[in-house]
Structure 1
Amino acid sequence: MTDKLYSLDDIRTNVSRIDNELLKLLAERRQLSLEVAKSKIETAKPVRDLTREQALLLRLVDSGKELQLDPQYVTQIFHTIIEDSVLYQQAYLQKLTNPESLQPVARVSFLGSKGSYSHLASRNYFSKKQTQLVEMSCSTFRDVINTVETGNADYGVLPIENTSSGSINEVYDLLQHTSLSIVGEITQPIEHCLLVATDTSLENIKTLYSHPQPHQQCSEYLHAMGDIDQEYCSSTAEAMQKVAELQRNDVAAIGNASSGEIYGLTAVKSGIANQQENFTRFIVVARKPVEVTSLIPAKTTLIMSTAQKAGSLVECLVVLRNLNINMTKLESRPVIGNPWEEMFYLDVEQNLKSDVMQEALEELTRLTRFIKVLGCYPSENVKPVDIEF
């Protein structure tokens, strides 16, 4: 007796059936994670339990081995599932903590048109909040902020730093003078491609269009291309629009492949960033601050100006060290109009309402010439737990 041979159509039908079953199970699991969040309100337990997550992954790896599944494959899948569960619970708890923010529709401003990285980050951030968007494209970072300040938008999404090109200084400078508060963050993977409108080859390309940041993030590849004209645009979306309009075989845009499809562009070369692990962190700003429940990890961002004497900044950092407050970001920017004076931006992993953060602010206020909290918001960076196979 021989094994039955399945046709390709039969195989694909079975694969589709299994995929649909997986989706139903994932939806069921997500709903159960919501019930977990409700129970944690009653017990005042934090959303993340790293010890349990580690034990869960170890058990799943062992079960996977029995099914001949590679441990890395299993952990990769369940890291994603756990991240979704954590963020889903956080969003639920934040809605309960900030009932005034409950709205089925939100007006969101961002840099560039549809398809820009800021547009993608906006959609990804609010998809986790289950909020319908009214999308408002802007041509500059200042316009993004002004649109929210004037009440024409509820939120603004701004890139703040990239793993390859570093901090976006213009955004930091704008934060010095705005009355808006940071209410959220999201880290967006950046996948740069060379996008063209015609059937052409790399050898034909003479001019590249994009925002200055992608040019900088892909500098090594662009240098290897030789004598290429680099034209700057206000956003990657504008660059893609430009190439689509030109319809020439000697021009290309740097941008995201899926976004390029919106403008009828195709990728002639992928993975051109200096770093393959290329991410941009975006912040979300609003007119009113949010309150962050103590059950979820929080970040607080503040700016301060120290005295112009040796050791002033060190004294401030010692305060954080002594109170065991982890600082995840320190950035300095010149104070416009005050030569040689610096404004320092700090991100710390601490809830603004906590006793330890209030103690730190009291000490820092005494040591600094100026200090201002820019916002306290849920940390969206769900770090996976490590396990040994």
Structure 2
Amino acid sequence: MPLNIACFGQPGSYTYEAMKSYFAGKNISPAYGSHFEDVVQAVATRQARYGVLPIENSSTGGITDVYDLIHRYDCCVVGEKYVKVEHCLLTLPGTKLEDIREVYSHPQGLNQCRSYLKHHGEWQLHPYFSTSQSAEQVQKMEDPHIAAIANKTAADMYGLDVLVEHINDNTMNYTRFFIIAADMEQSPEADKITLVLTTQHRPGALYHVLGYFFYNGMNMTHLESRPLKGRPFEYFFHIDVMGNLRNPATSRVLRNLAEHCNYFKILGNYVSDQGGNVDEIRRHRG
């Protein structure tokens, strides 16, 4: 029986690439959602076994709506995948650069190509559901004055030309994707933990929380703050830290940490993405 997968966007999107790569070799049945909440709801109501969503980009940072939705719908993080982002300007066959008047893309896509788009200030920009749906929109409208920012996969799927390649500002542009599920999954190979917490509202509270990781040799790889609804200037902190919950020392540190938080929840313990794009990122940093 195929795995039911809820995927943001539609075929040809970067999320689509993340899904195909993460579930390579497995029998899957994808369903696509135009909104992040469509995907999270499908997982929370168990219409889909897994969901695939972008969670952060190396150029534009965390995708805060996704953090909020995963927490609100009580979903778990069971995996991650990194995909290199290579935005292209896609048009109907035969279109020339001087023909373009309007450009469609996901807001993140437009934001990640700001420098290129500044050279074409006369173009009208249209934030759209996803990069792949922007490509489909160009195909459907059959207007040579309209272009999309998306990847080469979308160009192939929707019969478009790649008019200009590599238009994103950052050539080392990556998006990290979460694989979510309704229930937590654990494996002996799990090496990354995602958790959410709130600190006591007093000076130095976050400093002391982070000290638990530092003094116990646990590598914190990401920290994202989100406002607490109805509590001005108080925050949820979403944290990624390396470790396995089956390790007694790791579990002890997290239990001690939880006792000093107003709210503490582990969203997942999963195998971090290794090799491929991640190795390229590390080589670039080196």
| TM-score, normalised via structure 1 length | 0.70
- How many Å separate the matches in 2 of 1:304 and 1:381? 27
Q: Choose which of 11, 17, 33 in structure 2 pairs with 1:114.
A: 11
1:326 corresponds to which residue?
219
- Corresponding position of 2:75: 180
Q: How many residues align?
A: 279
5+ residue gaps in structure 2? none
Counterpart amino acid of residue 123 in structure 1: K
Alpha-carbon deviations, 1:2-51, whole Å to 9, x = none?
Answer: xxxxxxxxxxxxxxxxxxxxxxxxxxxxxxxxxxxxxxxxxxxxxxxxxx
Q: CA deviation at 1:237?
A: 1.8
Does the CA-based 8 Å contact 2:77-2:268 persist in structure 1? yes
Task: Answer yes or no: is the 8 Å Cα contact 1:144–1:156 preserved in 2.
Answer: yes
**Contact 1:297–1:349 (CA<8 Å) still a contact in 2?**
no
More helix by share: 1
Contact 2:199 2:262 in 1 (8 A): yes
Q: Is the 8 A contact 2:190 2:269 kept in 1?
A: no
In structure 2, how many angstroms separate the alpha carbons of the residues matched to 1:336 and 1:244?
A: 41
Show CA shifts across 1:140-184 (max 9, x none): 111101111111111000100011111111101112212221111
Q: How does 1:74-223 map to 2 (within 5 A)?
A: 105-127=2-24, 130-223=25-118
RMSD, matched Cα? 1.4
Opposite residue 304 of structure 1, the aligned amino acid is L
Separation in 1, partners of 2:70, 2:202? 25
Q: Could you tell me which amino acid in structure 2 is paired with residue 338 of structure 1?
A: R
Report the counterpart of residue 42 of structure 1 in structure 2.
none
Task: Give 1:65's aligned residue.
Answer: none
Does 2:233 correspond to 1:340? yes
Between the aligned partners of 1:218 and 1:352, the Cα distance in structure 2 is 40
Measure the CA separation in 1 of the matches of 2:50 and 2:242: 23
Aligned-partner Cα distance in 2 for 1:231–1:153 = 31
CA distance in 1, matches of 2:216, 2:187: 20
Q: How far apart, CA to CA, are the structure 1 residues paired with 2:192 and 2:263?
A: 20
Partner of residue 70, structure 1:
none
Matched, 1:358 2:244: no
Are the counterparts in 2 of residues 197 and 247 from structure 1 also a CA contact under 8 Å? yes
Residue of structure 2 aligned with 1:312, choices 179, 193, 205: 205
Q: Deviations over 1:84-123 (max 9, x none)?
A: xxxxxxxxxxxxxxxxxxxx52111111121111111111
Contact 1:289 1:375 in 2 (8 A): yes
Distance 1:290 1:362 in 2: 19
Taking the aligned partners of 2:61 and 2:202, their CA distance within structure 1 comes to: 28
CA 150–297 in structure 1, closer or farther in 2 if over 3 Å, else same: closer
Partner of 2:145: 250
Amino acid at match of 1:180: C
Partner of 2:134: 239
> Moved runs in structure 1, 4+ residues, more than 2 A?
381-386
Query: How far apart are residue 229 of structure 1 and its match?
Result: 0.9
Give me the whole-angstrom Cα distance separating, in 2, the residues matched to 1:376 and 1:110: 21
* AA of the residue aligned to 1:139: S
**1:297, CA displacement in angstroms?**
5.3
Return the alpha-carbon distance in structure 1 between the equivalents of residues 85 and 180 of structure 2. 21
Amino acid at match of 2:51: G
Q: Percent identity over the alignment?
A: 35
Which structure has more relative contact order (CA 8 Å, sep 6+)? It is: 2
Distance 1:186 1:170 in 2: 18
Q: Who wins on radius of gyration, i.e. which is larger? A: 1
Mapped to 2, the partners of 1:291 and 1:360 lie a distance apart of 18
Q: Which runs of 5+ in 1 are unaligned?
A: 1-103
Distance 2:253 2:230 in 1: 29
SS at match of 2:126: strand
TM-score of the superposed pair, with normalisation by structure 2: 0.94
Aligned 8 A contact 1:162 1:281 in 2: yes
